[in-house]
Amino acid sequence: MGIEIERKFLADRPALEPPLPRAERILQGYVTIGRKEVRLRSHGDRFFLTVKEGAGVLRSEYEVELHREQFAELWPATDGARLEKTRAAVPIGSAVAALDEYRGRLEGLRTVEVEFASLAVAETFEPPAWFGAEITGQDGYRNQALAVLPRWSARDR
């Protein structure tokens, strides 16, 4: 079993951000949504099936890489629960922040996630000034919730 230790923040301070590297397009769709989620992800030329369970900073995570054909065969099962975003990897000290800019009906939403090697490191992490409010564990900002949201608005949060 894999474990994901991650904190998530809004990225609503673009004027403070460091120069960003090139972002990659991500398509993500959910087969199941809930405490145990099953998702498909296309990231560049790579394709994944991921099962996550739990909420908050610490969750179990299982991931299997798929062939393009397998992904294409499964993708229709995610109809109605999809999102699109671009992701830029931004080094911050010994960690890497994943800056996500959502597209389509979620246009305008920007988040940043940081994965950690241990819970102790996650708990002592000091976010840089360009990070906004922490949203770790807030159900409305989980990608599975965003995937079924008709339209994103900061007023709704």
Q: Which residue has the higher pLDDT, 70 or 157?
A: 70
Q: What residues make up the domain containing 19?
A: 2-152
Residue 71's φ and ψ, nearest 5 degrees, are -60, -50
Pairing status of strand 24-32 against strand 2-10 = unpaired
CATH of the domain at 138: 2.40.320.10
- The answer to whether residue 119 sits within a structural domain is yes
What is the structure's pLDDT at 105? 94
Q: State pLDDT tens for residues 82-95.
A: 999 999 999 998 88
What is the structure's pLDDT at 154? 67
**What 3-state DSSP class applies to 155?**
helix
- The answer to whether residue 64 sits within a structural domain is yes
How many separate domains does the chain show? 1
- The answer to whether residue 48 sits within a structural domain is yes
- 24: which strand partners? 87
- The answer to whether residue 61 sits within a structural domain is yes
- The answer to whether residue 141 sits within a structural domain is yes
Q: State pLDDT tens for residues 119-154.
A: 999 999 999 999 999 999 999 999 999 999 988 776
Q: How far apart are the first and last CA of the chain?
A: 33
Please name which of 137, 23, 13 lies closest in space to residue 84, comparing C-alpha atoms.
23
Residue 21 binned pLDDT confidence (cut-offs 50, 70, 90): confident
- The answer to whether residue 14 sits within a structural domain is yes
What is the structure's pLDDT at 16? 82
- The answer to whether residue 144 sits within a structural domain is yes
In angstroms, the CA 54 to CA 146 distance is 17
**Catalytic residue positions, numbered:** 30
Average pLDDT of the chain?
93
- The answer to whether residue 157 sits within a structural domain is no
Q: In sequence order, what DSSP letters do the residues of 23-62 get, joined into one string? A: PEEEEEEEEE-SSEEEEEEEETTEEEEEEEE--SSEEEEE
